[in-house]
Amino acid sequence: GLISTKLDSAGMRYSERGDDMTPWVLDCVNAVLDAPLSDGMSLRNVEKKNFVTEMEFFFHADNFDTKKIAGLLKEKVSLQDSSFKGFIRGFMDLVFKLNGKYYLLDWKSNRLGSKVSDYGSVSMEMEMKKHNYVLQYMLYLSALDRYLKLRDPDYSYENNFGGVYYIFLRGVTAANGYATGIFRDRPPKELLDEFNRITG
């Protein structure tokens, strides 16, 4: 099928032990597509026209001061003190629209342990801090918010932004009611406004 062909082309179909990874990947894909995200709805409910993958962003920061950012995001980040002025560029894994709201989603294949239970909220939060993923999605969110203000005349953050999802693929399963592997956040508008002010 399509999945085994894709795995073959990427040289990833077989594990180091020689196991065919196709069934595991298929189960993982289906679990992620079925996972309830918003109002009990899942990615299967999103129309194709409302998906944007690898959305690029590019904006100028007048004073990207990590000390001020760390003060704002507190225990959610682990940053060295530094500052710079220049352009910030990146790609958002997935932006989608569902029931009139926009969402950001990032895929993570990080290995947090060998069991699904290793992907609970505490473990995910530690991993988010270790890799500064909260800073990452604040940058995504800042860029997306600016973009939507220009492109959608009816858009407001309060009414039309639904949230951020970081999907730790190895931890998502229907077997525990999708209790693991899905990190969710919806930063308050005041936090986003202050982040935008700090980064300029």
Alpha-carbon distance of 5 to 1, in angstroms, equals 6
> Has this prediction a pTM greater than 0.85?
yes
Alpha-carbon distance of 105 to 92, in angstroms, equals 8
pLDDT for residue 4: 81
Q: How many CB atoms lie within 10 A of CB 166?
A: 23
DSSP 154: T
Tokens of 140: 């995504």
Q: Provide the residue count of the chain.
A: 200
DSSP assignments along 39-61, one per residue: TTB-GGGS-GGGEEEEEEEEEEE
- 8 or 166, which is more confident: 166
CA distances for 35 relative to 43, 130, 161, angstroms = 8, 25, 19
Residue 62 designated active-site: no
Q: For the purposes of burial, counting CB atoms within 10 Å of the CB of 59, is it exposed (0-12), middle (13-18) or buried (19 or more)?
A: middle
Query: Which entry of 27, 39, 62, 106 is annotated as an active-site residue?
Result: 106
Alpha-carbon distance of 117 to 119, in angstroms, equals 5
pLDDT for residue 8: 77
Model confidence band, residue 182 (pLDDT cutoffs 50, 70, 90): very high
Model confidence band, residue 168 (pLDDT cutoffs 50, 70, 90): very high
